[in-house]
C-alpha cells in the first residue's frame, strides 16, 4: 500500500486536522506494515495558478522556457504523487467555511484536462481511478455537511472529478462550541474506517 498524506492547516501542532490525519495514517500503517507513506505539507507553499501557469501548462508550448519547465514540473510532481498512491489521507481544516487556500491551489494544480480528467460526449471523466481518499475534516464552528459547509462537498466533488470516488470523511466539527463532543464524533468515525 502506498499512502499520500496531505496536510494544509496553518496551526501547526495545535491543528486538529493534522492530528487526525496522523491517526488515520498510523491506523493504515499498523494494518499494513509494508505501507509506504509520502507526506506533503501544503502549508509549506503551493503555487497558485496564474497567467504564467496557463501559458506553460494549459497551452503546452512546443519549446517551453526554463521558467515554464519549472512550472510544468511542479504541477506534474503533484499529479505523480497521486498516481503513485493507493490511498490519499487529506487534512481538511475549514477556514471561512471552505478549503484552505493551499488546498485549493493544490486542487487547481492537479485538475488538468487530458491528464487527470478528460472531456467526453457524456461529460468529464476522471482518469485517476481505483484510489481511496480518507478526509480529516476539522472546523471550529461549521457543522459538517451543513448549508454552511462549502468545504466537504467541494473537495469530494473535485476528487470525483479526477476519478477518486471512494471518499470517507472523519469529521471533527463545531469544536469551538463543544470540543470534546467534536473530537468524540471524529474518533467514532475513525473507528469505523477499515484499514
pLDDT at site 59: 87
Does residue 131 contact residue 166 with C-beta atoms inside 8 Å? Answer: yes
Residue 146 has a CB neighbour count (10 Å cut-off) of 13
pLDDT at site 182: 87
pLDDT at site 193: 83
pLDDT at site 80: 98
Query: For residues 102 and 111, what is the distance between their CA atoms, to the nearest angstrom?
Result: 14
Query: For residues 185 and 121, what is the distance between their CA atoms, to the nearest angstrom?
Result: 42
pLDDT at site 112: 95
Closest CA to 167 of 138, 137, 141: 137
pLDDT at site 60: 83
pLDDT at site 195: 62
pLDDT at site 119: 94
> Is 16 one of the annotated binding-site residues?
yes
Structure-block grid coordinates of residue 76 = 506534474
> Is 37 one of the annotated binding-site residues?
no
- What spatial distance separates the first Cα and last Cα of the chain, rounded to whole Å? 11
pTM score, whole prediction: 0.94
Question: Which domains are assigned to the chain?
Answer: 2-191 (3.40.50.360)
Q: Residues in the chain with pLDDT < 50?
A: none
- The total number of residues shown for the chain amounts to 195
> Is 15 one of the annotated binding-site residues?
yes
Amino acid at each position: 500500500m502506498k499512502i499520500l498524506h496531505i496536510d494544509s492547516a496553518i496551526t501547526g501542532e495545535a491543528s486538529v486536522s493534522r492530528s487526525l490525519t496522523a491517526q488515520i495514517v498510523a491506523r493504515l500503517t499498523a494494518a499494513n506494515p509494508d505501507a509506504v507513506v509520502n507526506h506533503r505539507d501544503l502549508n509549506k507553499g503551493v503555487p497558485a495558478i496564474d497567467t504564467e501557469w496557463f501559458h506553460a501548462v494549459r497551452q503546452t508550448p512546443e519549446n517551453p522556457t526554463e521558467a515554464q519547465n519549472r512550472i510544468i514540473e511542479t504541477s506534474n510532481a503533484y499529479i505523480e504523487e497521486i498516481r503513485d498512491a493507493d490511498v490519499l489521507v487529506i487534512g481538511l481544516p475549514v477556514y471561512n467555511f471552505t478549503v484552505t487556500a493551499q488546498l485549493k491551489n493544490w486542487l487547481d494544480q492537479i485538475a488538468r484536462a487530458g491528464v487527470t480528467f478528460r472531456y467526453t460526449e457524456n461529460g468529464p471523466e476522471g482518469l485517476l481511478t481505483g484510489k481511496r481518499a480518507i478526509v480529516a475534516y476539522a472546523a471550529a464552528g461549521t457543522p459538517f455537511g451543513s448549508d454552511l459547509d462549502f468545504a466537504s462537498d467541494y473537495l469530494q466533488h473535485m476528487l470525483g472529478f479526477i476519478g477518486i470516488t471512494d471518499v470517507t470523511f472523519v469529521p471533527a466539527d463545531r469544536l469551538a462550541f463543544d470540543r470534546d463532543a467534536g473530537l468524540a464524533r471524529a474518533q467514532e468515525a475513525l473507528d469505523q474506517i477499515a484499514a
